[in-house]
Amino acid sequence: MENDRIAWIGTGLMGRPMAERLLQEGYALFAYNRTAFKAEPLRKAGAQLAETPQQAIENAKSVVLMLTDARAIHRVLFKGVSRVVLAGRTVIQMGTISPRESERIQAKVQAAGGDYLEAPVLGSIGPARSGDLIVMVGASVEQFDRWRSLLTCFGPDPFLVGPVGMAAALKLALNQLIASQMAAFSLSLGLVQRQGVPVEAFMQALKQSTLYAATFEKKLPRLLQRDFAEPNFPLRLLLKDVRLFLCEAGYLGLDPASLRGTERIIKTALRSGFGELDYAGMHNVINPADQNQA
């Protein structure tokens, strides 16, 4: 099928395992990454590497973007690629950007004669490798039906949220919870530790309550051991998403005061050199190591 030829742009923490999923499913991939050595594992897995975004897109019928932010998308699609190359091709945007950014990119792709939909994902590296991500789609019904089989490579049950912009909004809402939940859990853990309350008692009570979230137990070993290396989601990227949420919240008339406190914590973590650590590393700011800590 013509849609089996895909230009994959962005091979970072999530981009690489997601691209590998497509290779495992038999798709032909033309991969590009600005930092070329990060794409090398995909070449060994069967992808062809492109030296430029345009070269990747010229060899494919669809383009999947897994880039850091909207600025990177604009640089790749509208500065590094001729508008003629986008004509007749579908761009599937799978990173985390704001609803308004996604709508602006859609308008530019359509003006160049291409098609555009968004499909951000929720999950970490493990689910990306196993194809168990949550895939949220902003598209028309026709687009969703056309690309459902491709999106199913990343998650078993992609679902249509609504038109472009809605899936982006949903992803930001969920990433805001990632930041706020971790900050709240870290703070509570710090209190019980410094008061000498057994962590086991804290977790027992928490797990019996409606307050419990599975991420608490998953992240607890990292917090107890202060081991935040090999991140599933680096703090620097969480800060980017928190700022996007704050911008959208202000635009929509919401009061995000509680999130601003979390933003300050993450900014402090970055200034302390923790930006490449797992997002649970905000614990180093909220509950700094102390020789008297239990």
Residues 154 and 175 in one domain: no
159 lies in the same domain as 173 = no
Tens of pLDDT, residue by residue over 177-227, are 999 999 999 999 999 999 999 999 999 999 999 999 999 999 999 999 999
- Domain residues for the domain of 83 are 2-163
Q: Decide if 21 contacts 132 (C-beta within 8 A).
A: no
- What is the residue whose two structure tokens read 């950014």? 101
45: CATH: 3.40.50.720
Q: Do 49 and 152 share a domain, yes or no?
A: yes
Specify whether 189 is located in the same domain as 251: yes
Q: Are residues 144 and 217 in the same domain?
A: no
Assigned domain for 292 exists: no
My answer on whether 156 and 205 are in the same domain is no
Report the CATH number that the domain containing residue 249 is assigned in CATH: 1.10.1040.10
User: Are 135 and 158 within 8 A, CB to CB?
Assistant: yes
- Asked whether residue 32 falls in the same domain as residue 147, the answer is yes
Q: For residue 25, is pLDDT > 70?
A: yes
Is residue 49 domain-shared with residue 154, that is, in the same domain?
yes
Which tokens in the block code for residue 240? Answer: 């980017």
Tally the domains of the chain. Answer: 2
Question: Which of 121, 139, 163 marks a domain boundary?
Answer: 163
Bridge partners (DSSP) of residue 28 are 5
According to the model, what pLDDT value does residue 3 have? 52
Same-domain check for residues 8 and 134: yes
137: helix, coil or strand?
Answer: strand
Among the three residues 124, 141, 163, which one is the final residue of a domain in this structure? 163
**Amino acid identity at 17:** P
Assign 121 to helix, strand or coil: strand
Same domain, 199 and 138: no
What is the pLDDT at residue 292? 46
Given this model, what pLDDT does residue 249 score?
97
Q: Is residue 294 part of a domain?
A: no
User: Does residue 154 share a domain with residue 104?
Assistant: yes
C-alpha angle 104-133-21 in degrees, rounded to nearest 5: 95
Q: Would you say the pTM of this structure is higher than 0.85? A: yes
DSSP H or E stretch at residue 5:
strand 5-9
Interhelix angle 166-194/235-252, rounded to 10 degrees, is 120
Q: How many CB atoms lie within 10 A of CB 56?
A: 27
The mean per-residue pLDDT over the stretch 225-237 comes to 95
Mean pLDDT of the chain: 94
Please report whether residue 291 resides in a domain. Answer: no
* pLDDT tens column, 28-83: 999 998 888 888 889 888 999 998 899 999 989 899 999 999 999 999 898 867 77
Mark whether 126 and 246 lie in a shared domain: no
As a whole number, mean pLDDT of residues 143-167 equals: 97
pLDDT of residue 149: 95
Give pLDDT, residue 80: 67
How far, in Å, CA of 239 to CA of 260, rounded? 11
